[in-house]
């Protein structure tokens, strides 16, 4: 039986000096390149699909009760039930549109991809690790600003202000480990052997 040992080309949780990832998680992309992914979204108790099921159940029960009153002679209750369901439906639609808002950061290889979703808009920005800086945009507890190569992106809108400095430290540590992975990688030589 033989065993072959090869160095891991990417960071593992051990590369973070024994610290666990608090906000990110190890991730392997479609091209089998390992990395780290941070998903920074608002904390929503229900998904849009669950909300649609609740709304349909609410419509059914409200219209059933209103139909009973209309059958008893109070037909105006049916109109008010319809108006109520319309207004609740609009409120649920506004909630569902922004339920998936947030930032997704993917660190793989030597690039960091930042995908920001807000409503129906999605914005993708890519940075090279060696040129990237992570700083607070205004001061302690403010949004984090990623800048490099003439681009600036503010992230962590849905992270509590007191946790943003810990997120910034984790991002800096991951970026530093990614930079070191390149500098310690063995150089390939094209010379014939």
Backbone angles phi, psi at 123, to 5 degrees: -125, 130
pTM for this prediction: 0.71
Give the number of domains in the chain.
2
Q: What is the pLDDT of residue 29?
A: 76
Q: What secondary structure letter does DSSP report for 124? A: E
Asked if residue 146 lies in contact with residue 112, where contact means CB atoms within 8 angstroms, the answer is yes
Check whether residue 113 and residue 163 sit in a common domain: yes
Same domain for 53 and 83? yes
Closest by Cα among 136, 138, 137, 134 to 148: 134
pLDDT computed for residue 78 by the predictor: 93
Q: Are residues 112 and 158 in the same domain?
A: yes
Report the candidate in 40, 171, 27, 186 with the shortest Cα–Cα distance to residue 109. 27
Same domain, 37 and 111: yes
- Say whether pLDDT at 9 is over 90: no
Is residue 192 in some structural domain? no
| Residue 186 resides in a domain | no
Domain enclosing residue 53, as ranges:
48-97
- Of 16-20, 103-107, 110-114, 141-145, least confident by mean pLDDT is 16-20
Give pLDDT, residue 185. Answer: 60
Q: What is the pLDDT of residues 146-189, one digit of tens each?
A: 999 899 999 999 999 999 999 999 999 999 988 887 667 665 54
Reduced to 3 states (helix: H, G, I; strand: E, B; else coil), residue 130 is: helix
Q: Do 173 and 140 reside in the same domain of the chain?
A: yes
């Amino acid at each position: 039986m033989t065993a072959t040992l090869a160095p891991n080309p990417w960071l593992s949780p051990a590369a973070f000096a024994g610290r666990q990832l608090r906000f990110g998680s190890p991730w392997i992309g479609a091209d089998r390149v390992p990395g780290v992914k941070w998903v920074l979204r608002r904390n929503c108790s229900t998904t849009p699909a669950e909300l649609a099921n609740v709304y349909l159940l609410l419509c059914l029960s409200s219209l059933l009760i209103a139909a009973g009153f209309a059958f008893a002679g109070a037909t105006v209750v049916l109109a008010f039930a319809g108006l109520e369901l319309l207004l609740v439906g609009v409120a649920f639609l506004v909630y569902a549109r922004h339920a998936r808002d947030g930032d997704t950061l993917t660190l793989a290889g030597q690039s960091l991809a930042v995908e920001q979703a807000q409503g129906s808009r999605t914005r993708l920005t890519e940075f090279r690790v060696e040129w990237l800086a992570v700083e607070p945009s205004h001061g302690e507890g403010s949004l984090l600003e990623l800048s490099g190569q003439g681009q600036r992106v503010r992230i962590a809108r849905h992270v509590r202000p007191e946790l943003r400095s810990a997120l910034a430290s984790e991002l800096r540590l991951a970026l530093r480990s990614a930079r070191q992975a390149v500098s310690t990688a063995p150089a390939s030589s094209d010379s014939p052997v």
